[in-house]
């Protein structure tokens, strides 16, 4: 349900929106909206693989018709495998249950995965009022010691660590993320970010300024106020924490709109936020679509800032809405088409592996993906050969299964967009080295794809693909590759692989990107600012 003022609410419009499991298609949940007696998320997934990883999965009897007068919430009876169905028990106030009539696990279809409450303007208004009340002078949040805010962030990190298995499983089930990636990388990043920001809570300081005349001047950093935060589907849990941790550290209140494709971990985080002890109204969570809930946040006259991670197209709409409303502050982290430059003097084994990870990580669904790989001419053919060999080692399948290292794309729209771009690469003359089509007969899987002989004017070299499609291009000189690398509307990230320190330092200055990595890729940390140049956004996260 919608989480406002530390309470769970039905959406004003009484609607739900569908969420899809890109790997199995099984319906996991529906968020109840109108039933006053049962306000839980109904889980209808039949993915028994998930139970292997989550201690919170257990078996229980469940009354199929909750309308019956004797219907009750089942109690925990323990032991996976005792019945033909399972239930999963996160903390109150909502309790998800698996459907009592499962079907075989083997299906990998694309049926509706779950329903979630869909927020509209009235729900956003309700959340804004709660956040504004929590931000008022004299409120428990505003009078709380900064060190106590840090303690609450640390407590939230502890609760996430406690429920790590469950959160990682949710990330895999509704987002198609590999379970080990979700468990180790994503949840780990959340813990580090929360604890880092917790340490900053009582260290945000002002300064004194000498000025002419008999005056004493000082500055003080103050919270902005009510912050609307719109998060993407590719890193739902990480982006949730990236958005709320710095804001709460500094004393703001927040309204979070998770992506409609992946709302489950955000909804669950509401329970953990309440359990951690945050006062009512400090964190509010409103699932919904961009044109409704997202637009309501962007246009709202009583929201002081909007932070958005997503597409450049939507980022422009948000900035326009902010300008047409109350000139609220805007932070945007948008698309990318990042260059990854490999010189002949680089460690080739390392460069091939890191270029592979930099592109194929999370099925290529990463804004910083190194999707334009420029390789110096003397090593070009060998680099292509090794890259193809590496891509062919990828095993596709259910992201909750052992031994799988590529899951599905997020949804049908992205699936067809990627295939269309692959076809454009073939038609425009790029050489298809491997992959190039869908995988399997169910689910949104795409073969790991490598193109060579790619030129700068091809669509695959210009458009953000957001899929497992690697493009490898050839260059001859330093000046040439600098010009070509910067010849894009984006400027989120870049990388250079070389043993030459002079080249490395030259490229850190010459490349128009918010982050430039040298002999590494995707090195992102809470200690470092993150954001882009040009149409990759403005402002910085963390």
Q: Which two tokens stand for residue 488?
A: 């894009």
Handedness of CA 90, 94, 96, 100 (dihedral sign): positive
**DSSP state, residue 225:** -
Residues 80 and 85: their CA atoms lie apart, in Å, by 9
Orientation of helix 146-162 relative to helix 264-276, angle to 10°: 130
The b-or-e profile of 444-457 (16+ CB within 10 A means b, else e) is: bbbbbbbbbbbeee
Nearest to 517 by CA among 339, 378, 343, 333: 339
Residues 257 and 239: their CA atoms lie apart, in Å, by 11
Edge-to-edge strands, sheet with 29-30 = 16-20, 112-117, 29-30
SS3 121: helix
Give the other-Cβ count within 10 Å of 442's Cβ.
15
| 169, burial (CB in 10 Å: exposed 0-12, middle 13-18, buried 19+) | buried
Element (H, E) at 515: strand 515-518
**Residues annotated as catalytic (active site), given as ranges:** 333
End-to-end CA distance of the chain: 28
Nearest to 4 by CA among 262, 245, 274: 274
Q: Give the DSSP per-residue string, 350-384.
A: HHHHHHHHHHHGGGG--TT---EEEEEGGGHHHHH
Element (H, E) at 150: helix 146-162
Residues 374 and 343: their CA atoms lie apart, in Å, by 8
Rg over CA atoms, the chain = 24
Residues 95 and 100: their CA atoms lie apart, in Å, by 15
Residues 6+ apart with CB under 8 A from 500: 343, 345
Q: Which two tokens stand for residue 256?
A: 């979070």
The b-or-e profile of 368-393 (16+ CB within 10 A means b, else e) is: bbbbbbbbbeebbeebbebbbebbee
Cβ atoms 343, 497 nearer than 8 A: yes
């Amino acid at each position: 349900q919608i989480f406002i003022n530390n309470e769970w609410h039905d959406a004003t419009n009484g609607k739900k929106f569908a969420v899809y499991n890109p790997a199995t298609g099984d319906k996991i949940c529906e968020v109840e909206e109108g039933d006053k007696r049962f306000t839980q998320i109904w889980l209808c997934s039949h993915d028994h693989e998930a139970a292997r990883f989550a201690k919170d999965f257990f078996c229980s009897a469940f009354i199929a018709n909750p309308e019956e007068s004797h219907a009750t919430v089942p109690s925990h009876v323990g032991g996976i495998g005792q019945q033909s169905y399972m239930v999963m028990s996160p903390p109150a106030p909502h309790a998800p249950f698996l459907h009592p009539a499962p079907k075989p696990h083997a299906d990998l279809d694309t049926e509706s995965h779950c329903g979630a409450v869909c927020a509209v303007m009235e729900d956003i208004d309700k959340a804004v009022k709660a956040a504004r009340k929590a931000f008022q002078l004299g409120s428990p949040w505003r009078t709380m010691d900064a060190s106590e805010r840090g303690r609450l962030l640390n407590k939230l990190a502890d609760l996430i660590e406690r429920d790590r298995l469950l959160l990682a499983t949710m990330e895999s089930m509704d987002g198609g993320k590999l379970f080990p990636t979700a468990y180790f990388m994503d949840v780990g990043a959340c813990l580090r970010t929360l604890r880092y920001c917790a340490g900053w809570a009582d260290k945000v300081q002002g300064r004194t300024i000498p000025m002419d005349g008999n005056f004493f001047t000082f500055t003080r950093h103050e919270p902005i106020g009510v912050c609307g935060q719109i998060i993407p589907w590719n890193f739902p849990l990480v982006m949730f924490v990236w958005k709320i941790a710095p804001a709460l550290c500094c004393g703001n209140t927040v309204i979070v709109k998770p992506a409609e494709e992946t709302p489950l971990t955000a909804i669950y985080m509401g329970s953990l936020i309440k359990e951690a002890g945050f006062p009512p109204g400090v964190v509010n969570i409103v699932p919904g679509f961009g044109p409704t809930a997202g637009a309501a946040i962007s246009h709202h006259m009583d929201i002081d800032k909007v932070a958005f991670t997503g597409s450049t197209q939507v980022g422009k709409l948000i900035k326009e809405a902010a300008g047409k409303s109350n000139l609220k502050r805007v932070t945007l982290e948008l698309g990318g088409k990042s260059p990854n430059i490999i010189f002949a003097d680089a460690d080739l084994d390392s460069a091939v592996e890191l270029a592979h990870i930099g592109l194929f990580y999370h099925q290529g669904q990463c804004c910083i993906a190194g999707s334009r790989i420029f390789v110096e001419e003397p090593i070009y053919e060998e680099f292509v050969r090794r890259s193809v060999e590496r891509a062919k080692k990828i095993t596709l399948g259910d992201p909750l299964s052992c031994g799988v290292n590529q899951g599905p794309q997020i949804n049908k729209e992205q699936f067809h967009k990627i295939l269309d771009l692959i076809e454009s690469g073939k038609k425009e003359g790029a050489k298809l080295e491997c992959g190039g089509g869908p995988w399997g007969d169910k689910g949104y899987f795409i073969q790991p794809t490598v193109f060579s002989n790619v030129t700068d004017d091809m669509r695959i070299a210009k458009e953000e693909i957001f899929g497992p499609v690697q493009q490898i291009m050839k260059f001859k000189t330093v000046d040439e590759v600098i010009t070509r690398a910067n010849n894009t509307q984006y400027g989120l990230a870049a990388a250079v692989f070389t043993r030459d320190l002079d080249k490395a330092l030259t490229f850190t200055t010459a490349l128009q990107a918010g982050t430039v990595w040298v002999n590494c890729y995707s090195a992102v940390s809470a200690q470092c600012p993150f954001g882009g140049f040009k149409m990759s956004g403005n402002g910085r996260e963390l």
